[in-house]
Structure 1
Amino acid sequence: MVKCSECKNGAIWVCRCSNVYFCKTHASKHSQVHIEQNTNSYLEKLKSILSDSDKINLQSEIKRRIIILQDYKKRLLQETANYIKSIESLCEIAIKKLDSNLAECYDLLNSDFLDIDIKEKADNFTKTFYNTNKLKKGLSVHSNVTDFYCINLLKDYELIDGTVAAEKIYKDFDLCVQGHTSYVLCVAISRDDKYVASGSHADKMIRVWNLNEKVQEYFLKGHTDCVRGLAFSPDGKYLVSASYDKTVRVWCTLERNLRAILEGHTNYVAGVAITNNSQYAVSASWDTTLCVWDLRTFILKQKLIAHTGAVNCVAIAYDDSFCVSGSSDKTLKLWDIVKNKQICTLTGHSEAISSVAISQNNKIAISGSYDKTVRVWDLEKKALQHIFNNHTDIVRGVAITADGNKALSGSDDNTIILWNLRTQSVIHTFQEINSQVYCVSITNNSRYAVSGSYRDVEVWDINTKSKIGKMPGHTEEVIGAGIFPKKNTVITLANDRTLRIWDINNKSQSRMLTAKAYRIAASLVTNDNKFILSACYDKTIKLWSFDDYAYVNAFGKHTDRIQCIAISQNNEFCISGSYDNTLRVYDLQSFTEIAVLTGHKGIVNGVVIIENDKLAVSGSNDKTLMIWNLNTFSLQNTLQGHTGPIRGLAVAGNEIISVSED
């Protein structure tokens, strides 16, 4: 390989003035000499020839791509055959039904003897209605089918800006990168212990997590106010949610969509529970009532009225014979949900009751209250059994283990306490929590607990009395992402000061990089997938390794925050634009500044590199586009026409697109 005449680095340029070879750094210095001497620079880029090893690697990559395409084609044909078979089957069923109706019509028409029964049958038949409007509209192709057959070759990488990033990643890769962004007010665990559902305050979202894999599988949105209660049906068919939007919603867990909206309450709905036979749900509301809903017909069966204050919580006995509700009127009430009447009232709390749970043997209930206590109730004697008063603030959530021997309570004092219900003592206090605990739930095998706090869904091991960890996901809105299909990797950036790396295949978070309190204006990955570069408001460009995501370096000499960045196609240099009205060119091997491009009279908001790294175009608040010669690092042309600040640039083929406030 030809060496630079000024150093030991490999030469990539030759100046024909004297056939001298230069590296990138010394080529720029040589160009500066020509400028100072007012002579022409004849720099030419050396043509590189692939080495044998590079040829082998390229051929291997092409062969791998052929295998992927052949497999894609095979699967596409198989799925098409299955789809056609399904359509043919539906058509066959419809034709048989129509033929049956036609035969019935001919029988009635050809009947010689018309008695009362035949006349009644004919009258009923003639009143039937066929919706022929569907045929007039025709059978359109659903967008899902169109998307399935849309063959777009994935780029080596794709960069997504803005808040659409999280939903696009979910749509394209079934990968959930966004976590809760507000208080997690409720959690529920499926009967088989596979899934955890969590509901939140300001983001109004329900997120469903795989408890074993510790990944978010999907999310449900539709509530227009905070989600306050959740319950899985024991048969696993439904997830039912209660919300401050005054509705109860039923979600299909298989289809992952809304099944029904149950309306009947006139104020906030604060809690919900489902019978063990999965047929009924009971909701608790601030309108002082409980509603019993039929989950087979999705209609209101009965209202239970007796509380004099907001009803905050409800739990149902495991034999489905009764339920217990807790209210702001400081009482618990037992209800016969077969006869739909009140059984008795339990008194003792001195403040509003926030949560209630019933043991699986239906013998005891525990309640949490604003009076900072957890109370244990004997449901056979209808009397108070014990008071736990170790918490120092409001008790928000309670739960009982399947064997009825232990209980958990979560509080505004930032702790979860594990209680021994037999000895009426504290077993352990979980304190590794950064905020109030709003809810707790226990798996049916009694091994794990799940809690909700500020933005976090956390998992605890009851046996070892330790925290397992938090469910992954950004806790502030995702503002950008990079998708790298070849590496099965997605990189996301959010306002929670983290950069997270995700495995597309495993649908899991593989690493989280926590940043300092600086804002990142833009991020790019080099074309060879070696580095991640970010333009930062702390006046630097920060560099991470794309292989192991390790922090490499920070460099830059801007005097104000950096707004934009561009990387050369050969990955040898980058250009940054800043609030200091300049562009600066940096060598990506030595991280040294090569040149400063001055001329703009306003903030530089966008920059792109074109013409095989020979030219750069920048856009500014000064309403101009400037074209720069990257051989001489000089201004080549200024384009005017916009009447407002230029906010962004993009390259489309041979054209440059500029976006402006005008």
Structure 2
Amino acid sequence: MEAAGIGEMVNNVMCLLTDPDGTPLGSAMYLPQNAGPYQLQQIVNQLLNNEEKLPYAFYISDQELVVPLGTYLEKHKVSVEKVLSIVYQPQAVFRIRPVSRCSATIAGHTEPVLSVAFSPDGQQLASGSGDTTVRLWDLNTQTPLYTCTGHKNWVLCIAWSPDGKYLVSGSMAGELQCWDPQTGKPLGPPLKGHKKWITGIAWEPVHLNAPCRRFVSASKDGDARIWDISLKRCVMCLTGHTLAVTCVKWGGDGMIYTGSQDCIIKVWETSQGKLIRELRGHGHWVNSLALSTEYVLRTGAFDHTSKQYSSPEEMKKAALARYNTMKGNAPERLVSGSDDFTMFLWEPFVSKHPKTRLTGHQQLVNHVCFSPDGQWLASASFDKSVKLWNGITGKFVAAFRGHVGAVYQISWSADSRLLLSGSKDSTLKVASGGKDRMLKLWMG
């Protein structure tokens, strides 16, 4: 740190830029007090040697900097004699338009729609229904493509392979069916093995294995099963839970996570299906799991540029680059939500002990979800609220209390700026946070 003149010290403030993990970006530097987010953005892009100028947000003590440094220092009574630590976080390079109206009502199912999933490239939508069918829809024209028949009971869950080549659905009968999204036809007979209904499906990430072949299913019967669509059979059965497996995730590091009504989260390796460790701490059912890398795992090599790939190897390479960029130097994070009203934030590749415990909900936590950039964490509860947390530290940020009924599910927009919640009160609400520090709510 070089000595500075009295005038420079009065008008400037000594700052240290760090990434979310605390790694400094160069050494401390004097910045003018009239410098704001735009000037800081230019500095970070220059120091990182970014060829394309990327957008960043800046935080001081977990508060976003939306005014010049001098204004912030005066408002929060911060001394200019100390080095000011400023955390920079990359933002999405695209923006999702705010919700203002319903763009289409897509009719076709004759019973309640129980599950929906966008294709990794965002071109198609799959829906599963109580009418025992899976339907595929073209999102560009908002018209039906195919009706997939074959299930004998309600279709409870559906999942696309990250390369977009396959779709798997799980039913109340405990059967799984793989479909070809290009034709709507089944790829082989139903996959049988589970004794009760399917509660979750997760595909092996494409950056680990391309083309996609394996997925894992969870069931009320207490087991999780790994299937190979090329072999058309179960290749591993993950047993050990004493009650229903309620949720399952396949992580970017190659591990499978299962949450259960036995209050335990189990971590499995996927070459032989061996149990690696157990994550304990919840006092009641584990209802939901979410990974900080979940968005890039689900979308694989597909991003906002709509680039197409000529080979599985090219797709695998692109998916790995996206995953590594998103994860950075930090371990993959897992969050669990429970009937005990709490959540735990874990780094399961590193430790069996939770990083932190998240409390505040007054009833069971039904659903948890990381934002696509991994910076935020949202939770939905039967206490009628949605809570927002820092996705890295687990620190509480805000609560949304617009619903008058239990909140069942939440979902983020791809740019991590809009949060959608669905409730027992029959409404959808969209919350957004802007640089004006105001939260806006749209009714769906």
TM-score category, normalised to shorter length: 0.5 to 0.7
Quote the residue 2:268 is aligned against. Answer: 335
1:280 counterpart residue number: 214
Runs of 5+ in structure 1 lacking a partner? Answer: 1-173, 471-662
Pairing 1:61-210 to 2, within 5 Å after superposition: 176-178=106-108, 182=112, 186-200=115-129, 202-204=130-132, 206=134
8 Å CA contact 2:346, 2:353 repeated in 1: yes
Q: What stretches of structure 2 of length at least 5 have no aligned partner?
A: 1-103, 207-211, 294-326
Q: Which has the higher helix share?
A: 1
| Alignment partner of 1:349 out of 282, 291, 295 | 282
Residues 329-352 of structure 1: CA deviation (Å, up to 9, x unaligned)? 100000001231110001111111
The within-5 A match list for 1:629-644 is none
| Structure having greater relative contact order (Cα 8 Å, sep ≥ 6) | 2
Q: How does 1:473-552 map to 2 (within 5 A)?
A: none
**C-alpha distance in structure 2 between counterparts of 1:269 and 1:443, whole Å:** 27
Structure 1 contact 180–455 (Cα < 8 Å) conserved: no
Amino acid in the other structure paired with 1:262: L
* Alpha carbons of structure 1 residues 345 and 322: separation in structure 2 relative to 1, 3 Å: same
Specify the alignment match of 1:374 in structure 2. 343
* 1:438 counterpart SS class: strand
TM-aligned CA distance change 1:283 to 1:453, over 3 Å: farther
Please give the secondary structure, in 2, of the residue aligned with 1:399.
strand
Which secondary structure state, in structure 2, belongs to the residue aligned with residue 371 of structure 1?
A: coil
Contact 1:313/1:356 (8 A) holds in 2: yes
1:460 CA displacement: 3.5
The one of 226, 231, 252 aligned to 2:154:
226
Match of 1:256 among 184, 189, 192: 184
Shift of 1:204: 4.7
Give the match for residue 437 of structure 1: 407
Distance 1:221 1:334, change over 3 A: same
Q: CA deviation at 1:273?
A: 0.4
Q: Which amino acid aligns with 1:343?
A: I
Cα drift, residue 216 of structure 1: 6.9
The structure with the largest alpha-carbon Rg is: 1
Cα distance change on mapping 1:180 and 1:354 into 2, 3 Å: farther
**Structure 1 residues 451 and 234 mapped into 2: Cα distance closer, same or farther (>3 Å)?**
farther
1:266 to 195, 204, 217: 195
1:219–1:448 Cα change, 3 Å? farther
Within the candidate set 234, 237, 240, 2:168 is matched to 240
One-letter amino acid matched to 1:271: G
| Residue aligning to 2:308 | none
What TM-score do the two structures reach when normalised by structure 1? 0.40
- 1:418 Cα deviation from its structure 2 partner: 2.6
Aligned-residue CA RMSD (Å): 3.3
2:321 match? none
Residue by residue, what CA displacement relative to the aligned partner does 1:348-377 show, whole Å, maximum 9, x if unpaired? 111111111122235210111122222211
Task: Answer yes or no: is the 8 Å Cα contact 1:191–1:444 preserved in 2.
Answer: no
The answer to whether the 8 Å contact 1:186/1:438 transfers is no
2:234 matched residue in structure 1? 300
Once the two structures are TM-superposed, the CA of residue 449 in structure 1 deviates from its matched residue by 4.6
Q: Provide the rounded CA distance (Å) in 1 between the counterparts of 2:340 and 2:148.
A: 34
- How far apart, in 2, do the equivalents of 1:461 and 1:351 lie? 30
Kept in 2, the 8 Å contact 1:229–1:241? The answer is yes
Q: Give the structure 1 partner of residue 101 of structure 2.
A: none
The residue type equivalent to 2:246 in the other structure is N
Once residues 147 and 423 of structure 2 are traced to their aligned partners in structure 1, the CA distance between those partners, rounded to angstroms, is 18
Quick check: 2:135–2:148 contact (8 Å CA) kept in 1? yes
Structure 1 residue 437 displacement after superposition:
3.5
For residues 26-81 of structure 1, what are the alpha-carbon distances to aligned partners after superposition, in whole Å with 9 as ceiling and x for unaligned?
xxxxxxxxxxxxxxxxxxxxxxxxxxxxxxxxxxxxxxxxxxxxxxxxxxxxxxxx
1:433 to partner: Cα distance = 4.2
Which one has a larger percent strand, Structure 1 or Structure 2?
Answer: 1
Contact 1:314 1:325 in 2 (8 A): yes
TM (norm. structure 2) is 0.58
Distance 1:276 1:375, change over 3 A: same
- Aligned mates of 2:429, 2:137 — CA distance in 1: 11
Q: Kindly tell me: are residues 423 and 276 of structure 1, through their superposed partners in 2, closer, same or farther at Cα, counting changes over 3 Å?
A: closer
Aligned to 1:582: none
User: What displacement does 1:224 show?
Assistant: 3.5
Q: 1:382/1:417 Cα in 2 relative to 1: closer, same or farther (>3 Å)?
A: same
| Alpha-carbon distance change, 210 to 460 in structure 1, aligned in 2, over 3 angstroms | farther
Instruction: Give yes or no for the alignment of 1:422 onto 2:392.
Output: yes
Instruction: Determine if contact 1:322/1:338 at 8 Å carries over to the other structure.
Output: no
Q: 1:325 aligns with which of 239, 258, 265?
A: 258
Change (3 A) 1:238 1:357: same
Alignment size in residue pairs: 294
Amino acid at match of 1:416: V
Q: In structure 2, do the counterparts of structure 1 residues 254 and 416 end up closer, same or farther at CA, with 3 Å as the change threshold?
A: farther
Where in structure 2 are the equivalents of 1:6-45 lying within 5 Å? none
What SS does structure 2 have at the residue aligned with 1:249? strand
Are the aligned partners of 2:406 and 2:425 in contact in 1 as well (CA < 8 Å)? Answer: no
C-alpha contact 2:228 2:235 (8 A) present in aligned 1: yes
Q: Report the CA distance shift for 1:242/1:460 in structure 2 as closer, same or farther (over 3 A).
A: farther
Counterpart amino acid of residue 238 in structure 2: L
Distance in 2, matches of 1:369 and 1:279, equals: 31
- Report the CA distance between 1:425 and its aligned residue: 3.3
Residues 293 and 300, structure 1, Cα contact 8 Å, conserved in 2: yes
The 8 Å contact of residues 332 and 347 in structure 1, kept in 2 or not, is answered as yes
Distance 1:382 1:401 in 2: 24
- Report the CA distance shift for 1:446/1:175 in structure 2 as closer, same or farther (over 3 A): closer
- Whole-Å Cα distance in 1 between the matches of residues 170 and 378 of structure 2? 22
Distance change >3 Å, CA 238–CA 422, structure 1 → 2? same
Give how far 1:181 is off: 5.3
Shift of 1:431: 4.1
Q: What is the SS of the residue equivalent to 2:173?
A: coil
Q: 1:415 to 1:175 in 2, by over 3 A?
A: closer
Q: Is the 8 A contact 2:418 2:430 kept in 1?
A: yes
Separation (CA, whole Å) in 2 of partners of 1:180 and 1:443: 28
Aligned to 2:333: 364
Question: 1:396-426, CA deviations, whole angstroms, 9 ceiling, x for partnerless residues?
Answer: 2222123321112222333333322235334
